[in-house]
Amino acid sequence: MTTLAACFAAATISAGSAFSAQASAPTPTYPSDFVRTLDLSDGGLTDYAVSGDKCALASKTTIYILTAQEGNDGCILENTNIGTQVTALDYADGKLYYEIASGDAFIYPALPGSAPTRHDFPQQTRSVTLGNNQYTLDNESKLELFNLESGAKTPIAGEFSSLKQFDGSAYAVMDDVPYKIDGQTASPLNMEYAEFSAAKRISTGTIPEKLKTSNYEVKTATLKEGVDASGKGRYYTRVNADSMGDYFEVVGENHTRKCSTKACLVLAEEGNLSVIVIEGNCYITATDNLEPLAYNEPVNDWAQGADGTRKAYIRERTGVYSAPYMCESTLIAQVEADSAVTVNVREKFALEFLGSLSVFYRVEYKDGANKTVSGFVPAGFLDKYDYSADDNKPASSGSDGFKYDTNVTTVVLVLVVVALVIIAIAYLTIVGTKPDKKKTKKKKDEEEQE
């Protein structure tokens, strides 16, 4: 019986441990590389066309367009499922044409309801002549260079197909990849491309909880540019700092970019990932992409009172934040309007590269539940003067001899005096303007005697 109970307990512990492991959030992991290689081996390469820095490829019902770019990002990939078999491709006057199994041709991208267009697609050839060089492809997939001037023949290693000419250069296909042929050298076109969809599935782990803690220590850094030790490019991704669920929410179509030298504020770190702020926006990147940047803490310039404290007052509705960055993820308390909260200013934070709202003060105060709150408040929401004592004070009349008193009797007496003054002024006005009856009668008698 004892053995059975022990086994049951062990099973319960194991099950609980397994449940806890499954319930825990995955560790945040920023991808080490966003570059992928386009692989058409599944559907095979039906046809291709080249124009400048663009290479179009058709596989089954899909058209892929690779646009070369400088740097380590690979190409930019665009792909569209036409919905029907694509049989041929060609560039002409900067436009891409494609043909479908029915023989109809369209300009890419074809809008819904587009009418077919006429286009003569170049046919695969067995020979391309460029100056003194002639490239010949035999029936056994052997490519040969023939020099028309010297008569020398040189085989080009590999098994090729689909020999074509674009923009004064020869191309052929090997293993579903177009190659550019230059003399005796066959070089594959770049099939690598930047794919950033992985940035949309990066776990936040416990970072949301870390961003809510009030023991933040200011840390600054600089983004490294170029490539890492393994030769892979460095990237950073813009995310929504107001919404952090199980995964980071990316912002914008071009949410992931190559790193360039920029100063940043580091908010949190976990796994190989750091949450940073650049020019007022929130980003994530690999911690290895950051170079430490010394933070020179500014002098706390808030006025110090006689009691040795640096008191400040908050009278407007504002948030208190765990770090010197305002967003929902760092909001830890809310001060309502008319609260007249008194706080102690502990520390000043200022960084020019964060923009106009880069001056914060770390404050500490007791909330309504007598709980100590410690966090950052923008400098503009703090005041050195407590206006709450003057809430009921009226504006001064400007009379030096006037003393304001809220006693009701005094107020009534003042009103009576004001009323008597008004009556007196009215009486004097009436008397001053009333005609003199004696003078009027005397003037009338004089007129009758005449």
Residue span of the structural domain in which 261 resides: 199-293
What are the respective helix, strand and coil percentages of the chain, to the nearest 5?
A: 20, 40, 40
The predicted structure's pLDDT at residue 9: 44
Distance CA 404, CA 393 (A): 9
Amino acid at 445: D
Q: Which tokens is 157 given?
A: 């290693």
Residue 185 sits in the same domain as residue 123: yes
Give the model confidence (pLDDT) of 299-312 as tens digits: 999 999 888 899 99
- Which parts of the chain sit beneath pLDDT 70? 1-23, 71-72, 355-357, 387-450
Residue 333 placed within a domain = yes
Residue 252 sits in the same domain as residue 382: no
Distance CA 403, CA 411 (A): 11
Residue 231 sits in the same domain as residue 279: yes
Distance CA 298, CA 55 (A): 55
Distance CA 56, CA 68 (A): 11
Distance CA 257, CA 336 (A): 39
Report the CATH number that the domain containing residue 113 is assigned in CATH: 2.40.10.480
Residue 321 sits in the same domain as residue 337: yes
Q: How many domains does the chain have?
A: 3
Residue 158 is classified by DSSP as S
The predicted structure's pLDDT at residue 2: 43
- List phi, psi (to 5°) of 191: -105, 10
Residue 54 sits in the same domain as residue 130: yes
Residue 7 placed within a domain = no
Residue 146 placed within a domain = yes
Residue 20 placed within a domain = no
Residue 279 sits in the same domain as residue 316: no
Distance CA 179, CA 189 (A): 6
From 151, 172, 193, the end of a domain falls on 193
Please provide the size of the chain in residues: 450
Residue 320 sits in the same domain as residue 381: yes
Residue 22 placed within a domain = no
Residue 86 placed within a domain = yes
Residue 148 sits in the same domain as residue 80: yes
The predicted structure's pLDDT at residue 246: 95
SS3 string of 48-82? EEEECCEEEEEECCEEEEEECCCCCCCEEEEEEEC
Residue 427 placed within a domain = no
Buried b / exposed e along 337-375 (16+ C-beta atoms within 10 A): eebebebebebbbebebbeeebbbbbbebeeeeeeebbb
Residue 178 sits in the same domain as residue 281: no
Residue 42 sits in the same domain as residue 171: yes
Residue 127 sits in the same domain as residue 52: yes
The predicted structure's pLDDT at residue 7: 44
Report the CATH number that the domain containing residue 376 is assigned in CATH: 2.30.30
Residue 282 CA, chain-centre distance (Å), reads 6
Residue 416 placed within a domain = no
Given CA atoms 147, 149, 150, 151 in this order, what sign does their dihedral have?
Answer: positive
Residue 287 sits in the same domain as residue 204: yes
Report if pTM > 0.95: no
| Measured CA distances, 236 to 222, 274, 278 (Å) | 12, 10, 11
